[in-house]
Chains A and B, each alone.
Chain A
Amino acid sequence: MVAVSENTVATEGASLRVKDVTKVFAARDSTAERMLALDAMSFAVAPGELVSIIGPSGCGKSTLLRLIGGLDFPTSGELYVGTEAITGPSSERGLVFQDPCLFPWLTVRRNIQAGLVALGVLREKRSEVNYFLRLVGLEGFADVYPHHLSGGMAQRVALARALITHPKILLLDEPLGALDAFTRMRMQDEVLDLWQARLTTTLLVTHDIDEAIYMSRRILIMTPRPGRVERSIEVDLPRPRDRSSAEFLDLRSEILKLFTSPVS
């Protein structure tokens, strides 16, 4: 369970603990039923671990990420980063959505440094901006506006923007979901590189079983309505992982079976 064993780099990440979290969405009108999005969900993520959450649409994955991000609040239950309870959004928890959501009125450089501006530390940490531009390979695009970027490039900017405040936890909500298959595979390696360089605790929500197996140390399988963690599967394959190895494919069909056969 200790992620650090995989790598000798000291982790910047903190542990994440989700304890009996229930989220009920109020009914729109009196006739509609209240929607139980998450039902007493519990799990923990070790510092520096990369954990994927997979599950069908509408199983509350995004709701969970919003709760951890502090953008929404649980109906009951608690969430902790390290020993601190989550009470609202913070630069300690970086969030990247499927839509990169770059600020279209800012250049790539200004998008990346937005977090430093928000925290009022741009002057001291300006050199970080260049470091992150290099890290995501976009030095030549520093002064370009986002609509000139391809999907993969935009997502890399979004990653750099989320990482520049050195978050303890990185929350990725299907960040590669909108990319084509080839860009997606390349980006998976890039995200892994970013993760291995800093060992930020990372929670990756995805639809894609291959992506989950390829990237994560552990996979949480969620079931919908009400959303809860059905199973936790360790992925003990050596990195870099081979997408066509027998172990990979075995794991893949095992997970696939969980979704195709009715859950008892």
Chain B
Amino acid sequence: MLFAGNKVNEVAPLKESAQPSNVVEPPTGAQKKHEPPAEKRRWQIFFTVPLATATALALHWLASRQEPPGETHLYTYLLSGLLVVSIVAVALQSLWSSDWMRGACPLIAAAVLFLAGWEMATSGFRWLPMPYFPGPAAVLQSLVTDRDILFDSTCHSLLLLLCGYALGVAVGLFSGVCIGWSRQVRYWGMPLLKIVGPIPATAWIPLAMVLSPSAMVSAMALIALAVWFPVTMLTASGVSNTRAAYLDVARTLGAGRAFLIFRVAIPAALPSIFIGLFMGLGASFLTLVVAETVGVKSGLGWYVSWAQGWAEYRKVYAALLIMAAFFSTIMTALFKVRDRVLVWQKGVIKW
């Protein structure tokens, strides 16, 4: 996707410069899709996936000859399925293909080759010590056999994360706007923020365990605390750095304080606020996993430490895979929200 996107962007400015009056035209919203030039559309690129998959299958067959077949048949099915799909894609590419597929092919092929390499290093040649480094087939197997408990853990993690994050964002936005707007609040609030804020939220765990009635509540509070600091900091700096001219203009239009805060200062601070939201999200992932590992008796973090306790490292990797998908989905969702809210910035800054 990214691969193809870059190429499209390289072509775009050349075409645009043909029309000098691009400023005066009202923009049509969606940008026109420029076709990449013919020489860039290499049909060979579609062969990378079936080739890589066939290689992986062959290596898997060699590596798993001494293993019980039940352990690994899911991995075989997965690779075979991918092989069939990719062969069909190659066959159909002259009829129908999209930029997305063309862009994704090298990445998919690389991922499959990585799996093959991983399998060779683990169950193939056993270069890596066995219980700690299972092969992809074993991880996939655990992913499927433990699907119920993994799903349950993911739901618990999601609930805890969303509650903590929402709480932290709400409090952070409120305190950030107060500190950024009012000189008095800044005088008293900023030192507190500067001293308390940088303490990693996880360092409060001993205190949180003593103070709160349940591990769930204390974990939520810790996540909120981790989110609160960057959100407050960036909101405050965004609000206090609002261009004075915007405020002056609004005043001469008859604006009162509510208009100045909610319709000038906060919108002007939104780019900065979103940086805070992203930093807070990263901090919340970290705090979530740590809190679940040490206190909370559910969630993905708990599952990882539980699996580790039984030395079932294949399950650890399965949970890590889920976490990767889970966290990156949430991150992508926040990016989408930003793209919507800050649509007015498009063209002003590079995204």
Contact = CB atoms under 8 A, between A and B. Distances in A.
Interface of A: 66, 69-71, 89-91, 93-95, 97, 99, 101, 103-106, 114-115, 117-119, 140-141, 144-150, 153, 161-162, 165
Interface in B239-259: 243, 245-246, 248-256, 259
Interface stretch (B19-27, B170-178, B193-201): B19-27
B112 to A, nearest CB: 43
Given A114-B250, A118-B256, A118-B259, A104 B245 contact: no
B254 A165 contact: yes
A162 B254 CA distance: 10
Given A118-B259, A144-B27, A147-B348, A101 B246 contact: yes
Interface in B215-245: 243, 245
Contacts of A104: 344-345, 348
Contacts of A165: 253-254
**Residue of B251, B259, B267 contacting most chain A CB atoms (<10 Å):** B251
A71 B253 contact: no
Contacts of A99: 245
B345 to A, nearest CB: 8
A71 B348 contact: no
A96 B351 CA distance: 31
A69 B245 contact: no
A101 to B, nearest CB: 5
Interface string B122-149: 0000000000000000000000000000
B268 interface: yes
B245 A93 contact: no
Nearest to A121: B254
A165 B252 CA distance: 10
The 7 closest A-B pairs by CB, nearest first: A91-B254, A115-B253, A89-B251, A118-B255, A105-B267, A95-B252, A145-B344
A89 B252 contact: yes
B264 interface: yes
Given A140-B26, A148-B27, A117 B252 contact: no
Contacts of B250: 114, 118
A94 B268 contact: no
B347 interface: yes
B245 A148 contact: no
Contacts of B27: 144, 148
A41 to B, nearest CB: 21
**Residue of A90, A105, A146, A150 contacting most chain B CB atoms (<10 Å):** A105
A91 B252 contact: yes
Contact of A101 (B245, B267, B270, B348): B245
B347 A148 contact: yes
Nearest to B22: A148
B34 interface: no
Nearest to A95: B252
Contacts of A140: 26
A144 B24 CA distance: 11
27 contacts: A66-B248, A69-B248, A69-B252, A71-B251, A91-B253, A94-B252, A94-B253, A95-B252, A99-B245, A101-B246, A101-B248, A103-B249, A103-B264, A104-B344, A104-B345, A106-B267, A114-B250, A114-B253, A115-B253, A115-B254, A117-B263, A118-B259, A118-B263, A140-B26, A144-B26, A147-B348, A161-B253
Interface string B334-351: 000000000111011000
A23 B243 CA distance: 24
Contacts of B267: 103, 105-106
Interface in B252-302: 252-256, 259, 263-264, 267-268, 270
Contacts of B263: 114, 117-118
Given A147-B348, A150-B24, A95 B248 contact: yes
A149 B23 CA distance: 6
Contacts of B256: 118
Contacts of A93: 252
